[in-house]
Structure 1
Amino acid sequence: MPIKIPQSLPAYNVLSREGVMVMPEETAAKQDIRPLRIGLLNLMPKKIQTETQFARLIGASPLQIEFSLIRMSDHESRNTSTEHMEAFYRPFAEVQASGEKFDGLLITGAPIEHLPFEDVTYWDELKSVMDWTQTHVHSTFGICWGGMAMAYHFHGIKKHMLDAKSFGCFRHRNLAPASPYLRGFSDDVLMPVSRWTEIRADEIAEAGLTTLIASDEVGPALVEDRAHRALYVFNHFEYDSDTLKQEYDRDVDAGTPINVPVNYYPADDPTRDPMNRWRSHAHLLYGNWVSEVYLTTPFDMEQIGLASTDLRA
């Protein structure tokens, strides 16, 4: 089954060219099934790039997905046109007021990790979002800063500034091969990393959370929070092949000191085209998450948030 997105959304044509099954709303309405409702709270500045990346991964599922784009209510995007935001995004305040529920919600990262959480202009509303997920979302997936924000809000786990940016593709170990989220994963996993902060393994363990994937170099990468029906990933499986290259070229052009991303370009030579060596694991992780949502979410959406906090109870 395909992912249901508006035919005028830029991601529609991009994914169609890539062979991802997409379906316009009028066609989906003719199918007598309940699609999974998955929302994307997009906090990234390049909204179109980010929504396409996640639609690509979510749309690879054999299930029909109704993909909804959500934004912070009072925060205006400076990198995406007003027309695009008004056409495709709903403010969280509107979603909250409607009382609707979601099978899954993705909360993206944001390039504000140098700020204390409380200094982020939309922090109060984001706290409301995270609290709202406990009654209106069956499973929440926090990505990078979004995952760190959830770990801090629910458990008081702090993010720590690094002396140097973790930047490149780093080897990680599969610590929980029996986890349903890691079905099909190899023991050794390559993940793109781009962050100035880290979450520490001992503090995750002290909070009673489970680390599923970790690196000796850059720390925990994927964490399960069963009590809050959530996953937190601190790195970027969703990145395109050239996303790290875009970040590197941007900093070089701006004269900002930046190291060549580790283990990304062939022979670490930035004049050569990077190779994507994480795509298969990206599809596995998000496909496994969608599968778990499908297997555990109530058919009656009114029951979401009312059942056991154990996804597999």
Structure 2
Amino acid sequence: MPIKIPKELPAFDVLSSENIFVMNTERADTQDIRALKIAILNLMPIKIQAENQLLRYLSNTPLQVEITLLQTKSYIGTHTPIEHLEKFYRCIDDVKNQKFDGLIITGAPVEHLDFEEVEYWEELKDIMDWTKSNVFSTIHICWGAQAALYHHYDIEKYILDKKLFGVYKHWNNYANDNLTRGLNDEFYAPHSRHTEIKREDVEKVKDLEILSESKEAGVFIVANKNRRQIFITGHLEYDRDTLKDEYFRDLNKGLEIEIPKHYFNNDDINSNPLVTWRESANVVFGNWLNYCVYQNTPYNIDDISYLDDISQSQKPKIRI
């Protein structure tokens, strides 16, 4: 089954050109099937780019997925046309009485600020609390992961000596876990951040497990034991040129920036970057949709219970 998005959304043409099966909402509404309801809280400044990246991996599945795009109400970015935001985005007040099978909270370029200094922090806290009763499983990405770990578990972030920027080798700590099954023992993922979380802080929380980490990039994938909260500190969703574009953007601004590690062939910035993480991205996002969401979320979406009501040993009914 395909991903279900409006035909006017830019991602529709992008994904169709890549031979990804995309179904417009009009056609999907004629099918007698309950699509998975997945929301994306897009905190990235260039929202269309982030949409395309995430929708590409949510499309690579036999499941029908219905997407709702969300933005904050307390802060409206200026890097995306207002017409696009008004047409395709909603705020949490518009959906607060709805339930979703899954939600993705993206990263945001606000690492230099303390969490409490972020303009939309209070709203984001309310949204993260809302997910515990209205979303079956939530993925948090990069700064979104750090923000959620801080809010839910009081895990601090730490400033790095220099920006972690490049594509790094990781290992899989749980080869048979629902989220990481199918990953190679060693795999690659992009990172672009100035802050980190520390392994010892995560290990103090009994409900959290470190599923993947890296010698150079540190903790990568963390999840609570029932996989209803997932935290990914890097960017598996990135395109081939995302780090390249970021590098030249900062270079042109006169900012101090190093060449992304393990990214350009022989560090030649004029070469075509090597994609070494696409397979891993497909595995993780596909596993999340299938095992963490589809196989466990209630068929009647209104039956989604509060996060803490389902323990590791209490499995909900399987959807068939």
**TM-score band, normalised by shorter chain:** over 0.9
Shift >3 Å, 4+ stretches: 309-312
Matches within 5 A, 1:132-151: 132-151=130-149
SS at match of 1:19: coil
CA contact (8 A) 2:190 2:238 kept: yes
Alignment CA distance shift 1:164-1:151 (3 Å): same
Q: TM-score, normalised by structure 1?
A: 0.97
RMSD between superposed Cα atoms in Å: 1.2
Evaluate the alpha carbon distance shift between residue 37 and residue 311 of structure 1 in structure 2; reply closer, same or farther with a 3 A threshold: farther
Amino acid at match of 2:240: S
Change (3 A) 1:311 1:63: farther
| Matched letter for residue 14 of structure 1 | V
**Uncovered stretches (5+) of structure 1, i.e. residues with no partner:** none
Q: Equivalent of 1:123, from 121, 126, 133?
A: 121
Match of 1:194 in 2: 192
Shift of 1:312: 6.7
Following superposition, the deviation at residue 305 of structure 1 comes to: 2.1
1:309 Cα deviation (Å)?
4.5
Q: Deviations over 1:232-261 (max 9, x none)?
A: 000000000000000000011111111100
- Structure 2 spans left out of the alignment, 5+ residues: 316-320
Instruction: State the distance in 1 between where 2:3 and 2:153 align.
Output: 33
Distance, in Å, in 1 between the alignment partners of 2:160 and 2:133 is 35
Is 1:24 the counterpart of 2:24 in the alignment?
Answer: yes
**Bigger shift: residues 158-167 or 67-76:** 67-76
Please report how far the alpha carbon of residue 74 of structure 1 lies from its aligned counterpart in structure 2 after TM superposition. Answer: 2.3
Q: Is the 8 A contact 2:74 2:123 kept in 1?
A: no
Q: CA deviation at 1:184?
A: 1.0
Distance 1:217 1:290 in 2: 28
Shift of 1:77: 1.4
Structure-1 separation of matches of 2:313 and 2:111: 30
- Alignment length (residue pairs): 311
Q: Which residue of 2 aligns with 1:231?
A: 230
Question: Are residues 1:278 and 2:280 paired?
Answer: no
**Closer/same/farther in 2, CA of residues 228 and 241 from structure 1, 3 Å limit:** closer
SS at 1:133's partner residue?
helix
Task: Map 1:22-61 onto structure 2 (within 5 A).
Answer: 22-61=22-61
In structure 2, the residue matched to 1:113 is 111
Tell me which of 296, 310, 313 is aligned to 1:308.
310
SS in 2 for 1:302: helix
CA contact (8 A) 1:229 1:311 kept: no
Q: CA deviation at 1:226?
A: 2.9
Tell me if the contact between 1:238 and 1:282 (Cα under 8 Å) persists in the aligned partners: yes
- State the Cα distance separating 1:92 from its structure 2 match: 1.2
